[in-house]
Amino acid sequence: MKKSVFVSFIYFVPIFLLVIFPLSRYLGIFGGEDREGVTNYYICTESSWETNNWKEGLFVNPFDLKGGQIDLGFQEDTVIIGLDISPYLKLNGDPKFLEIINPSFRSVEIFRVNAKGEVVFLGKDGIQYMLSNKYGNPNPTFKLTDSKDWLPYVILKISSFEPVRFNAVISSEASYYSNFNKRTIFINIYVGIMLALFFYNLFLYFSGLDVLYLSYSMYVLFIALAQLSISGHSYYYFLYQNPKLFELSIIGFTSLAGLLGLYFVKVFLHTKERLPLVNKLLGLLMMSYLVTFILRLFGAVSLSYMLTDINGLLVVILVFYTAIVLARRGIRSAYFFLGAWTFFLIGILVYIMQTQGLLDLGFYPNLAMLVGTAFEALLLSFALADKINLLKKEKEKEQAERLIALAKNEHLVREQNVMLEDKVKIRTDELEQAIRNLQNTQSQLVNQEKMASLGQLTAGIAHEINNPINFVSSNIMPLKRDIKDIMEVIEFYRSRGAMEFTPDSQKEAKQLEEDLELDYVLDEVEHLLKGMDDGARRTVEIVKGLRLFSRVDEQDMKSVDLHDGINSTLILLNSTMPTKIRVNLDYDELPLVECLAGKINQVFMNIINNAIHALADHINTIVDPHILIRTKSLVDAVTIEIIDNGPGMPECVKQRIFEPFFTTKAVGKGTGLGLSIVYSIIENHKGKLEVNSEESQGTTFKITLPIYQSTERYE
């Protein structure tokens, strides 16, 4: 990475030179046949102005200039300088033009000495004279004529608030105008480039409201204004030829350009996040530029110039270092910035060499800065354009990713909708099932309430029926005896009548018997008595069963005979049982068991009823369908087994038969609460309910009940 940064630097230097040297040749910077720079000068003070022998002693010990530049620094007093022009009077053409290459001088007065030794005033120029320069040249310019009446030197009287630093150039009239036109074209091209970049980036700012483009456009504006002030063109272009504004603009525009440039560096390179320490140093330099501008406003010219030079040196070092560090990290924008700053750095170096007398650029002391800032502005614009492209690509990539994400989200939403619909359907089904269960429960509760009321009603009716049926059943035997006695009397009369009645009486008796069908009546009476006896006996059993089964609302534990409960249940279910189903009873001798008789009868009812339904549903496929009820007495408990040879049930059904609302019957034919209630009743009696079943092997329910309960009250 270090090598790539070095190669980048080496790459930009030839590009700069390939531009600057052809341009310098075109502009004639390094001299020509009709233009030369003055190299010999003499300095005297104001006090020696009157006493000096101008004719004889001016150039006895002249200074020999290196590079042709005169640099006296800041001078509070007026400076008087004599220039030896004898080597240049031989230039082709007449008149000659003397140009003082420094547009910041307030006043430049030119004098010549005639053959008599008299000092003659020829003219004046400078910014305080405003429109006195009829050539429109920012630099003070004077026309000279070659005559034997004049000695071969001129005297300049210079007054300036800025540093006294200049080149003096003598050229022919044709060379002067040609060079001036080229300079004007070059400056206009520079102004056009910088204005185009300024408005372009300002437009980008208003388009996207990105402060980066605003800071850069303002930097381009002020760096261009600073260069125009250094070249003197701002004095004519937009400062209304105001000397004070022009003098202030040289440092003022430079300071503002530095301030805005450093802010642009911070924003463009993101130094706050990437190089926090460098970011703080850049902030300090911004404060230094602001102090420099304030000092210049209050007239501290020398100090402001010194701070400007120091700030410029520090900015070049720090910004170049920042660009190199970030370029080594592979940050793309840093490469553009490094290239742009390389051009700017080369321009500064060439400008410093020119100001130090190491290089003479003639009419163009800030040519390198103009070219450097133009290249810098162009490359930074390319960098910003590259940033736009990167942002565009990132935006396109982001949009593509968003589209992919949206597609995925849409797919997920569709899947979620399907899942949600499935879940809603499941929940709806569950809710409907719950509603049905609640309705069934409600029906069951209503039925239980009805059963309780019916039990009470049945118990009352059974009690009321019991008395008359007892009366009927108790009178059947006496009635049979009485009928038997009557039959004996009738037989006696018949036998005696046959012996003692007259034939007519016998005939009448015989006719009466035939009319009454006495033999048939006697047989019918016997059958009726037998039917009455059977009916009364069956009615007594039914009433007894009703009385036993109707005890569903009893809450007191009583010792009961479980066989009676089973028998009463069978009596009640007899009407619903198909005739093909046989019921076999295998009763053991059972003790009385403490229980809630009505609840236990309900257990028998539910289990036997399920067995009947299981057999009835397959009545045509089961050979000899039957139910076996077997009881057995244990030590402290009794067992009741209810066995059917029905279709049985699979394991998965057997695991759930005691769950509330679980049923294998069709909708509307079962609530799924029967066995759940049975299980609860047996559990509340501290008993145990077991089921054994296999498919096609029948089902066995085994109930185990303790003989005695530990509590006197069952809740």
Mean pLDDT for the stretch of residues 487-495: 77
pLDDT surpassing 70 at residue 451? no
User: What is the pLDDT at residue 198?
Assistant: 85
Which of 77-81, 215-219, 494-498, 663-667 is least confident?
A: 663-667
User: What is the pLDDT at residue 440?
Assistant: 65
3-class SS letters over 426-491? HHHHHHHHHHHHHHHHHHHHHHHHHHHHHHHHHHHHHHHHHHHHHHHHHHHHHHHHHHHHHHHHHH
- How confident is the model over 90-130, as pLDDT tens digits? 655 567 788 888 888 888 888 887 777 778 888 888 887 76
Diameter over CA atoms, the chain? 224
In one-letter notation, the amino acid at residue 683 is: E
Task: Concatenate the DSSP letters of all residues of 637-677 into one string.
Answer: EEEEEEEE-S----HHHHTTTTSTT---SPTTS--S-HHHH
Q: Which residue has the higher pLDDT, 291 or 34?
A: 291
At 649, phi and psi to the nearest 5? -150, 150
Task: Concatenate the DSSP letters of all residues of 132-197 into one string.
Answer: G-TT--SS-EEEE---TTEEEEEEEEEE-SS-EEEEEEEEEHHHHHHHHHHHHHHHHHHHHHHHHH
Mean pLDDT for the stretch of residues 513-542: 73
Closest CA to 83 of 137, 36, 115, 43: 43
pLDDT surpassing 50 at residue 5? no
Distances (CA, A) of 138 to 68, 104, 142, 377, 451: 20, 9, 12, 25, 124
- How confident is the model over 54-101, as pLDDT tens digits? 544 444 444 444 445 777 878 877 888 888 777 766 655 567 788 888
Show the tokens assigned to 412. Answer: 């997920």
Show the tokens assigned to 694. Answer: 């296999």
In one-letter notation, the amino acid at residue 568 is: S
- How confident is the model over 575-625, as pLDDT tens digits? 778 888 888 999 999 899 988 887 888 888 888 888 888 888 888 888 888
Cα 513 to Cα 517: distance, rounded to the nearest angstrom: 6
Do 221 and 245 form a contact (C-beta atoms < 8 A)?
no
3-class SS letters over 89-139? CCCCCCCEEEEECCCCCCEEEEEEEECCCCEEEEEEECHHHHHHCCCCCCC
Residue with the two structure tokens 């091209």 = 189
Q: What residues contact 696, with CB distance under 8 A and at least 6 apart? A: 647, 648
User: What is the pLDDT at residue 715?
Assistant: 41
- How confident is the model over 663-703, as pLDDT tens digits? 666 544 555 566 777 888 888 888 998 888 888 788 899 99
pTM score, whole prediction: 0.52
User: What is the pLDDT at residue 630?
Assistant: 93
Cα 707 to Cα 214: distance, rounded to the nearest angstrom: 101
Does the bond joining 95 to the residue before it have cis omega, within 30 degrees of 0? yes
Domains of the chain: 2-21+210-365 (no CATH), 34-182 (2.60.40.2380), 556-715 (3.30.565.10)
Cα 454 to Cα 461: distance, rounded to the nearest angstrom: 10
**In DSSP terms, which residues pair with 629 in a beta bridge?**
585, 642
pLDDT surpassing 70 at residue 545? no
User: What is the pLDDT at residue 67?
Assistant: 46
Which of 370-384, 566-580, 590-604 is least confident?
A: 370-384
User: What is the pLDDT at residue 631?
Assistant: 93
